[in-house]
Homo-oligomer: A and B are copies of this chain.
Amino acid sequence: MLITEILYTITQIRQKIKSFKEKKLVIGLVPTMGALHIGHESLIKRAKQECDIVIVSIFVNPIQFCLGEDFEKYPRQIEADRQICSKLGVDIIFAPNADEMYPDEATRIDENFTIVAPPASYQNKLCGNFRKGHFNGVATVVLKLFNIITPDKAYFGRKDAQQLVIIKKMIKDIDLPLEIVDCPIIREPEGLACSSRNKYLSAESRNKALCIFKSLKNIEKLYNTGITSASEAIELSKKLIDPDLEIEYFEAFDFETLKRAEKIQKNTLFAIAVKINGVRLIDNLII
């Protein structure tokens, strides 16, 4: 097994990219914040099938964390991540530090840095309402990674559904010529959607959190039995959520435009966010 090379600087990775481009190799990027789990693994495997070169970026992006969020304690485990990448045949890990990505005084979104701002109509809902500025930070770092690595394809999971829609919209609006590959949610055996933040859960919280997926499956069941009102399906399914889970939102939107959905139809996104013992979990179902 080859050990995946880790590159830390933009200059280094650009040199590699240049040589790949000269050989006309198809480059796939899997952007991550590390703490890789089987969800990330599924993205990497998909990229390996479709690309000549697979690059995994690992960067805990300070500007997408809001005040009071878990930036400091977010899991960092580069050697474990490297083992996973090596096992899966990843060609390069790009793991810059914050000074490499934000060399100016500005390492947070602030008044000294150029920001990519996704449309307000895509931000002022779902996670955007609870994480002010989060999607500006996401769009900005993703654009930076795209500009540095110039991938042909980039792989994102559907678990972060709003992020995925916003990045697709960004690509279209600013004419970036690359393909966003949108990949299904991967779940732990009992149904909990994979997330690096699942590490924060106690055994008890983890058990209680299983109701999230159950309530989403209930939506699908209701739809299959003929219910077409999104709000009705949500109200009925909310009853399956354990009362110890604090629901931030449980709502329905169109998966492309993020316009609110009244009627359930193809591409309706049911998205839920809860807090349990201070841990924030999100999940969703796309019809």
Residue A67 lies at the interface, judged by CB distance under 8 Å to chain B: no
Residue A10 lies at the interface, judged by CB distance under 8 Å to chain B: yes
Instruction: Please name all residues of chain B whose beta carbon is closer than 8 Å to the beta carbon of A115 when the two chains form the complex.
Output: 116-117, 119
- Bound together, the chains give a CA A148 to CA B120 distance in angstroms of 24
Residue A143 lies at the interface, judged by CB distance under 8 Å to chain B: yes
With an 8 Å Cβ cutoff, the count of chain A residues facing the other chain is 29
Given A114-B139, A147-B177, 6 other A-B residues pairs in contact with their CB atoms under 8 A: A112-B119, A112-B121, A113-B119, A114-B119, A143-B174, A144-B175
**A117 with B119: CB separation less than 8 A:** no
Residue A108 lies at the interface, judged by CB distance under 8 Å to chain B: no
Over the window 113-146 of chain A, the binary record of Cβ atoms lying under 8 Å from chain B Cβ atoms (1 yes, 0 no) is 1111111110000000000000000011001100
CB closest residue in chain B, given A143? B174
User: What copy number does this chain have within its complex?
Assistant: 2
**B114 with A118: CB separation less than 8 A:** yes
Residue A72 lies at the interface, judged by CB distance under 8 Å to chain B: no
Residue A176 lies at the interface, judged by CB distance under 8 Å to chain B: yes
Give the residue among A104, A140, A170, A174 with the most B Cβ atoms within 10 A.
A174
- Bound together, the chains give a CA A115 to CA B170 distance in angstroms of 9
Which residues of A, 1-58, contact B by the 8 Å Cβ criterion?
A: 10, 14
Residue A99 lies at the interface, judged by CB distance under 8 Å to chain B: no
**A116 with B119: CB separation less than 8 A:** no
CB closest residue in chain B, given A114? B173
Over the window 155-171 of chain A, the binary record of Cβ atoms lying under 8 Å from chain B Cβ atoms (1 yes, 0 no) is 00000000000000110
Residue A190 lies at the interface, judged by CB distance under 8 Å to chain B: no
**A114 with B169: CB separation less than 8 A:** yes
Nearest CB of chain B from residue A42's CB, rounded to whole Å: 27
**A175 with B120: CB separation less than 8 A:** no
Residue A111 lies at the interface, judged by CB distance under 8 Å to chain B: yes
- Bound together, the chains give a CA A177 to CA B139 distance in angstroms of 18
Q: A116-B114, A116-B116 are in contact. Are A147 and B174 (CB under 8 A)?
A: yes
Interface CB pairs A-B, < 8 A, 12: A106-B119, A111-B120, A113-B173, A114-B117, A114-B169, A114-B170, A115-B116, A115-B119, A116-B116, A116-B174, A144-B175, A147-B176
**B14 with A174: CB separation less than 8 A:** no
Q: A14-B177, A174-B140 are in contact. Are A117 and B120 (CB under 8 A)?
A: no
Instruction: Please name all residues of chain B whose beta carbon is closer than 8 Å to the beta carbon of A139 when the two chains form the complex.
Output: 114
Instruction: Please name all residues of chain B whose beta carbon is closer than 8 Å to the beta carbon of A110 when the two chains form the complex.
Output: 119
Instruction: Please name all residues of chain B whose beta carbon is closer than 8 Å to the beta carbon of A118 when the two chains form the complex.
Output: 114
- Bound together, the chains give a CA A92 to CA B192 distance in angstroms of 55
- Bound together, the chains give a CA A10 to CA B174 distance in angstroms of 12
Instruction: Please name all residues of chain B whose beta carbon is closer than 8 Å to the beta carbon of A148 when the two chains form the complex.
Output: 175
Instruction: Please name all residues of chain B whose beta carbon is closer than 8 Å to the beta carbon of A176 when the two chains form the complex.
Output: 147
